[in-house]
Amino acid sequence: MNLTDAQINAILNIVNRPKPNPNPSSPVSLMVTKSTSSPSGIISTGAQNVELARFNLKANNDKIEIRKLGVHAMYYGSPLVGTLIIADAETSEQYLNISTNTAGLQTKYTPNAGTLLANQRDLSSYITIEKGQTKTIKIIGSVGAAINSNYIIYIGQAYAKRYSTNSFVTLANSAYAGNRLTVKSSALTVVKNSSFANISYAPGSSGVKLAEFVLQASNADDINVNTIHHICLQLLLPQPNAIPNVNLIYPNYLLPLMFSLLKTEHIH
């Protein structure tokens, strides 16, 4: 059977037609979300190496290795001091430790995707995330003494290696924000407990309560109380040393020389 040139070309086109890939490569993506445990609210003046933000990173459709990451600190008032650290939230392995004086790291304006892309930072240790898995990172920094300063940490624009294709791609093309943090000074308030009324004791009484005070820490930070002075008004007593032993009780046991008072906690 003789075939025409047109028939031969048609057969060759069918034979040489590209075959569909039985395992097509799905687009890879990096989902970035602010962690529900990301800090918010108040931090104390002069706080050092405190957690400023926490983000979840989820790799979709492929295993990835993040080699660069955009990070930015927006501030109002005084900028962050010292160094800014990106670390694994679980192991504390550091991926980046950068001076807060680095150009472009801190500004007083809200960054966008372009800002993060222009300020991608080379990571000293790569962030490897298995396909479909999530890794949580934390951002750590230090603040100065200026009260009412505000900070919001942003990340985005991750430059990553894709394992299945051994290629590189920029993912999470946006600016993802942490919570706003405000600097306040720490304070300890001491007041007489109004529920403890004036009372009279029989001569020779022991183990009796002489006074009751309420100690309250501000919500800026925890407070360690390491010195409390006992003051007895001797003028009201018939003789010196009429109260030979005075102990602090909290609430039903003797306090050591130092005890801790947590944020907004009351101590009686």
Domain ranges of the chain: 29-184, 186-268
Global pTM value: 0.68
pLDDT band of residue 54 (cuts 50, 70, 90) is very high
Which range of 16-25, 125-134, 239-248 scores highest in mean pLDDT? It is 125-134
pLDDT band of residue 29 (cuts 50, 70, 90) is very high
pLDDT at 227 over 70: no
Q: Helix, strand, or coil here: 239?
A: coil
CATH of the structural domain 29-184, one choice from 3.40.50, 1.25.40, 2.60.120, 2.60.40 = 2.60.40
3-state secondary structure 51-85: EEEEEEEEEECCCEEEEEEEEEEEEECCCCEEEEE
Q: Which amino acid is at 136?
A: T
Task: Give pLDDT tens digits for 101-110.
Answer: 999 999 999 9
pLDDT band of residue 249 (cuts 50, 70, 90) is low
101: closest CA among 86, 79, 121? 79
Burial class of residue 229 (count of CB atoms within 10 Å of its CB; 0-12, 13-18, 19+): exposed
Rg (CA), the chain: 32
Q: Helix, strand, or coil here: 14?
A: helix
pLDDT band of residue 209 (cuts 50, 70, 90) is confident
Instruction: Give me the count of residues in the chain.
Output: 268
Rounded Cα–Cα distance for residues 187 and 198 (Å): 28
What average pLDDT does this structure show over 260-266? 45
Pairing type for strands 213-217 and 266-267 reads antiparallel
Rounded Cα–Cα distance for residues 233 and 264 (Å): 31
Task: Give pLDDT tens digits for 164-197.
Answer: 999 999 999 999 999 999 998 666 667 677 777 7
Q: How many CA atoms lie within 13 A of 137 on its CB side?
A: 27
